[in-house]
Chain A
């Protein structure tokens, strides 16, 4: 994957994960990856491993909570949920994303 694309995606990965958890509730890492790919209609494809450092960081910052659980297939997995602080962070990141895209759109329109 070209380097720049990856960087931008890494930067917004947090936003995507938070939104996913808000919409879908309790999920494990694989399900989050799958959801992002699916919801973006395959437009977004991340190096799947890079999700985990991001999840780890978000757990440190207190935006998500994690606990071990069992899937329907009886496998051990770590499930993540959004915390209240995480909800606030999601709102913040959505707002700054909206500002960013709006700004970029306007500059591009300005011929």
Chain B
């Protein structure tokens, strides 16, 4: 292509200049020779030759300028011409730019999310060096294992560990939670971060028995302390313990976990201060630390592998948990350490949402294609109007390629304008979408700053769409016969009456793509609805949850046991509380506890066969949550550490362990490593209820009385079923909690919110695909309306003649409708085939539906057909209302 060559020449100007000099020198010497042959002397000949040649420098300059200038000039001319054209038909330009803006903006929004979650490297020094230490596929280590790894200079040049607990900033009363981090001394030095104020934690801050210091983030510093320098040195209360703020991190730093941004960093040794007797620092089976480091760069692969193998043996031998069964201990000792690259950070968010984001990228890509088809059709229609102008330009010698270039410039200008509109829309949209990821417990934070990658993506998409939809009129323009075009009015570029004109093909394509989108939306919406409306085995409206955090340093039994009873009884007396209960775990919270169970006479087939999920609950739990008691009875509230151990099973557990026999009166034992607990008698059976997630198939659950559970964990939950709306009763609850549970901190939430939040991903997909499905329907409808209206308008002449020759309006209408029907029919048929081929990519998100669910497909097809048919029928019907005489006279 000519302009490519021009551009390349710009780059090679040095060599070109020398070539030109040589060429011109040759010319001059030839001319001089010829003149000398004619009789002139050498110097005279040379002079005459130069005179005839003219100014060499001028010629060279003209050549050089020609390259850039011609290129630039023609580009500017094209742009000016395009802009003028758009100004003359602002309606068209507006519709085109808006639909493109929407399409490109949506794509940019999803891409910036993908960029932030999956593609960006961590904003730390040399992120590509970072690796995470894993044991097989497990990414969490215990503190004893970490302490073994910490000083291994043979493996790492720097290594650090961290964990992300939430801290309560309030001192008692309702909790003010903030995400924090326990970090080892090597965290900040290992990441190569600078402070914005004060200093950051270093190795000297991390030793057993260390003083409580903390570092806060820039954002926290700004919002809580107004960015004042005096904040450094102030005291912060973390879970009721005072910590001194020693510094602030630089802005933009969010740690190593993509999707979370801990606000307060404290040294790992201080965990002992906050957790007291529950400290995990010496626990050999509490897996909570992520360990990341930079391996020594000079070690070759082989050596690293051997060293890791050796290190594994040493580390696991040194940290073997003594009370495990021998089988478990053997498994532990066989563990192998390995390195996993984490240049892009560790991210649970990425794991949970990766596929969903990719599906969304596909969805918005389809929407953009449909929008392109619309704009292409608009351009085609416009090209027909301009056919005379184009024909004239061709006949006076404008190369067709030049014309195509001009049309493509127009379309690229449109799409760049659309992109300019789309970027702010994407900015707003991506922030909105992050809200979908967040839950109350686990708010999401992402670095959504627009980086080079996002901009490059937007630009590439804009250019590509410009060319894609610009090809349609450009291709037509190449086929125009200028003389024919100039002669007849009403024929030419976009032949509407021919069977498979480009416009029709575009519409059929639009209908097909829209069907795919509507089908996907239908599947995702249907799944979401099934999940949201299924019977989870409990009633979640109107239930207030209170999570009580126990900080006290006193030993496990005794006071905590009393605490729950007193608080529970106290809350039961609050007016408006219909029933209340306590439990260790609440439904669908993500927490879980399971154990192996032994029954006399029952031999488990696999290790999973006798696995039962457990919960510790008070009396009244089932009544409060609305779970039916099927056999036997509920706990009576008097079960304690001294009374015989009892339990209640759910139907699935009863069936699993006892088959059809009545389990009431029978017993089981919990097997824990080497010892087995005393037999537990079963006193009742309740209906199945969802335990960890709404999607799970029946989980076998056993409920123990909370009074007999040996250790109440660091927190437990109270569930209050209210008479009527919850909000007005909250102050009374708070007051009673302040009275009964003074000194402890608590959090209030609704069970229905908790259930909703477990469906975050499904809700995200359902909402967005629904939105884009409707958008696709709309775009397809508009496209069809426009095409039919336009085709009818151009054939007014022909239709008018038919009418005057005696054809009834109905017949004409039927003819046009027939064409519409054909287009829609082919589009829908094609769409169904496409849908069947592509919906399998969302199969993993579905619930209760298969990817080729016939009902959903049928519904999508019918909806689309109806919308499309109406969109096409309206202009057709209006056409038949025309007065034929008027139309003919206009010719």
Contacts and interface: CB of A to CB of B under 8 A. Distances in A.
Contact of B397 (A30, A52, A76, A92): A92
A75 B62 CA distance: 26
B20 interface: yes
Given A48-B53, A75-B29, A29 B5 contact: no
B52 interface: yes
A92 to B, nearest CB: 7
B393 to A, nearest CB: 14
Given A30-B31, A57-B66, A96-B397, A49 B23 contact: no
A51 to B, nearest CB: 8
Interface string A31-57: 001100000000000011110110011
B322 interface: no
B763 to A, nearest CB: 58
Contacts of A50: 54, 59
Given A52-B59, A96-B397, A29 B29 contact: no
Among B52, B55, B67, B70, which residue has the most Cβ atoms of chain A within 10 A?
B52
A48 B30 CA distance: 12
Contacts of B70: 57, 60
A52 B25 CA distance: 12
Contacts of B58: 49
Contact of A29 (B9, B23, B62, B67): B23
B396 to A, nearest CB: 9
A4 B9 CA distance: 32
Interface in B16-71: 19-20, 22-24, 26-27, 29-31, 34, 52-56, 58-59, 62-63, 66-67, 70
> Chain B binding site: helix, strand, loop or mixed by DSSP?
helix
B560 interface: no
Nearest to B22: A76
Interface in B643-676: none
B150 to A, nearest CB: 67
Contacts of A77: 23, 26
> Chain A binding site: helix, strand, loop or mixed by DSSP?
helix
A53 to B, nearest CB: 5
A72 B680 CA distance: 112
B876 to A, nearest CB: 45
Given A60-B67, A75-B29, A92-B397, A47 B52 contact: yes
A56 B54 contact: no
A56 B27 contact: no
A30 B27 contact: yes
Contacts of B31: 30, 48
B230 interface: no
Interface string A57-73: 10011100000000000
A62 B70 CA distance: 15
A49 B397 contact: no
Interface residues of A, number: 22
A33 B54 CA distance: 14
Contacts of A75: 26, 29-30
Contact of B56 (A34, A49, A57, A78): A49
Nearest to A95: B397
Nearest to A96: B397
B27 A62 contact: no
A57 B620 CA distance: 92
B63 A49 contact: no
A56 B397 CA distance: 21
Contacts of B19: 78
Given A48-B53, A48-B54, A50-B59, A56 B26 contact: no
B63 to A, nearest CB: 5
Contacts of B30: 30, 75
B2 interface: yes
A87 interface: no
A99 to B, nearest CB: 11
Contacts of A47: 52-54
A26 interface: no
B63 A53 contact: yes
A50 B54 CA distance: 8
B5 A60 contact: yes
Given A47-B52, A78-B23, A53 B397 contact: no
Contacts of A53: 59, 62-63, 66
B809 interface: no
A48 B49 CA distance: 9
A62 to B, nearest CB: 6
Given A33-B27, A60-B6, A96-B397, A52 B20 contact: yes
A56 B2 CA distance: 12
A98 B768 CA distance: 65
Contacts of B20: 52
Contacts of B63: 52-53, 56-57
B17 to A, nearest CB: 12
Contacts of A56: 63, 66
A53 B19 CA distance: 13
Contacts of B24: 49, 52
23 contacts: A29-B26, A29-B27, A30-B31, A49-B56, A49-B58, A50-B54, A50-B59, A52-B24, A52-B59, A52-B63, A53-B59, A53-B62, A53-B63, A56-B66, A57-B66, A60-B5, A60-B9, A60-B66, A75-B29, A77-B23, A78-B23, A78-B26, A96-B397
Enumerate the 5 nearest inter-chain pairs by beta-carbon distance, A residue then B residue, closest first: A49-B54, A47-B54, A30-B30, A49-B59, A49-B53
Interface of B: 2, 5-6, 9, 19-20, 22-24, 26-27, 29-31, 34, 52-56, 58-59, 62-63, 66-67, 70, 397
Given A48-B54, A57-B63, 18 more contacts: A29-B26, A30-B27, A47-B52, A49-B24, A49-B58, A50-B54, A52-B20, A52-B23, A52-B24, A52-B59, A53-B59, A53-B62, A56-B63, A57-B66, A76-B26, A78-B22, A78-B26, A96-B397
